[in-house]
């Protein structure tokens, strides 16, 4: 009985340990701990960028095309972990443990692979090559294989997206079913970046923006303070917006809630766009007005 109990306890310990490690790293937070708090550059350090003369730092800075400037969370986390010997603090250690190089290599490798996936879709071959070189450098440490990194990414990117979406929509008046639909559609893209999954992300963005303007024009028509000419203009615009809205909803599954009028769609749209800024990859930077 004691042996059975011991095996049970050990099983719980191992499973809980794996569960704690099986998460994509919050690189935005890790980079902020290192640059904003430990080195006191402030939380706007990405805007100006951090210049580096360290050989490895220059290689990392080149990921986004800058030769010596660290200005993204991925670059910041890579420099903070690999190019320095600072231990930061307990929170940073919980994100990327220096005592467990395998876990750190796995998580940083998965983050680089995530960017590779997006860059391939955007057909940025030069950036793909730079990120591939970084991934090979990480794998070259001998702690993880590429197959393990890719499997880790595919198994855990859904949880990362779920956390980011929940964070951005916290406190917003948006139906839970809509939030779940958004999580699924974003996850679909990051697992299979292609024109179809990307178009769905754009349709979700457009739908939210349209719904916000539809409500704005509906309220304008209801108000008595506007003249007849302004109200007529609002009616024409409202018809145009509703047509665009119907065209999207006929092909887009989900996001069609009965509580449209009680949802703050302007806040929802802003939260939705903030998701991609928080994930902070090349989807916004390289696709320009196609997604903004």
Average pLDDT for 19-23: 61
pLDDT at position 68? 74
Residue 245 and residue 213: Cα distance in Å, rounded? 10
Q: Is the pTM of this model over 0.95?
A: no
Q: Which residue has the higher pLDDT, 224 or 184?
A: 184
Find the farthest-apart pair of alpha carbons in the chain and give their distance in angstroms, rounded. 85
Looking at residues 119-130, what average pLDDT do you find?
A: 94
> To the nearest whole percent, how much of the chain has pLDDT over 70?
82
Answer yes or no: is pLDDT of 152 > 90.
yes
What pLDDT shows up at residue 6?
41
pLDDT at residue 71 tops 90: no
Cα gap 212→260, rounded to integer Å: 10
Q: What percent of the chain is modeled with pLDDT above 90?
A: 37
Q: In this predicted structure, what is the pLDDT of residue 20?
A: 45
Whether the CB-CB separation of 118 and 283 falls below 8 Å is answered with yes
Comparing C-alpha atoms, which of 13, 115, 133 is closest to residue 73? Answer: 115
**Residue whose C-alpha is closest to residue 130's, from 74, 86, 186, 82:** 74
Q: Which tokens go with 22?
A: 């099986």
pLDDT single digits (tens) 244-281 = 777 777 777 666 555 555 677 888 888 998 898 888 76
């Amino acid at each position: 009985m004691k042996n059975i109990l011991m095996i049970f306890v050990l099983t719980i310990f191992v499973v809980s340990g794996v569960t704690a490690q099986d998460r994509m790293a919050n690189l935005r937070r890790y980079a902020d701990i290192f640059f904003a708090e430990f080195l006191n550059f402030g939380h706007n350090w990405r805007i100006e960028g951090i210049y580096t003369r360290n050989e490895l730092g220059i290689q990392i800075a080149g990921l986004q095309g800058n030769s010596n400037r660290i200005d993204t969370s991925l670059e910041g986390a890579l420099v903070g972990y690999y190019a320095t010997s600072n231990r930061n603090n307990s929170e940073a250690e919980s994100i990327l443990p220096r005592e467990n190089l395998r876990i750190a290599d796995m998580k940083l490798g998965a983050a680089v692979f995530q960017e590779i996936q997006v860059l391939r879709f955007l057909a940025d071959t030069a950036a793909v090559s730079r990120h591939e070189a970084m991934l090979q450098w990480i794998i070259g440490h001998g702690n993880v294989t590429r197959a393990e990194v890719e499997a880790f990414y595919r198994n855990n990117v859904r949880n990362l997206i779920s956390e980011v979406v929940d964070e951005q929509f916290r406190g917003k008046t948006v139906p839970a079913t809509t939030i779940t639909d958004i999580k699924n559609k974003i996850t679909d893209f990051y697992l299979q970046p292609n024109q179809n999954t990307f178009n769905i992300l754009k349709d979700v963005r457009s739908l939210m923006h349209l719904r916000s303007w539809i409500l704005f024009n509906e309220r304008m028509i209801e108000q008595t303070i506007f003249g007849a000419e302004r109200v007529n203009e609002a009616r024409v615009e409202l018809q145009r917006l509703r047509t665009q809205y119907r065209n999207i909803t006929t092909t887009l599954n989900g996001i069609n809630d009965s509580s449209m009028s009680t949802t703050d769609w302007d806040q929802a749209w802003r939260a939705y766009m903030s998701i991609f800024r928080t994930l902070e990859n090349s989807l916004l930077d390289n696709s320009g007005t196609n997604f903004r």
